[in-house]
Structure 1
Amino acid sequence: MLSMQVGGLFGFILLALDIWAIIKVIQSNAGAGVKTLWVLLIIFLPLLGLILWALLGPKG
């Protein structure tokens, strides 16, 4: 039962971070094509997309 609660908490935190990352991508100065690719990457690969965006994504 505890593992299910931990998994649910992890999923919720990941969802919140993904939403935050998508908002930051949209607010960035990157071109529309780059923004679209980052948003799709974050949506379809939530954990990997978030990590890659944090390391390589558009800044500012």
Structure 2
Amino acid sequence: MFELSGFFGVLLLVLDIWAIISIVGSTASTGSKVLWVLLVVLLPLVGFLIWFVAGPRSANANV
């Protein structure tokens, strides 16, 4: 099985936390937020990549 450790593991953890904070702060419905958070938590690398491409952004991410 594929395993990330060391620096890349910590980096993935930080990116996943950033994604979860962004999801919770988004204007998406509660059900949608729950599904996105579950995806990121259960599949950290794949879930983050899918969220990065197609997920909801936080309400203040107008940059």
Q: What is the TM-score of this pair, normalised by structure 2?
A: 0.82
Alpha-carbon deviations, 1:11-57, whole Å to 9, x = none?
00000000010000000000000000000000000000000000010
Unmatched segments (≥5 aa) in structure 2: none
Q: Report percent identity of matched pairs.
A: 51
Which residue is 1:24 aligned to? Answer: 22
Q: What is the TM-score of this pair, normalised by structure 1?
A: 0.86
Which of 49, 55, 58 lines up with 1:57 in the alignment?
55
Which residue is 2:42 aligned to? Answer: 44
> Does 2:42 match 1:33?
no
Between 22-31 and 6-15, report the one with greater CA deviation.
6-15
Unmatched segments (≥5 aa) in structure 1: 1-5
* Structure with the higher fraction of residues in helix conformation: 1
Which of 10, 26, 36 lines up with 1:12 in the alignment?
10
**Aligned residues: CA RMSD:** 1.4
Runs (4+) of structure 1 exceeding 2 A deviation are none
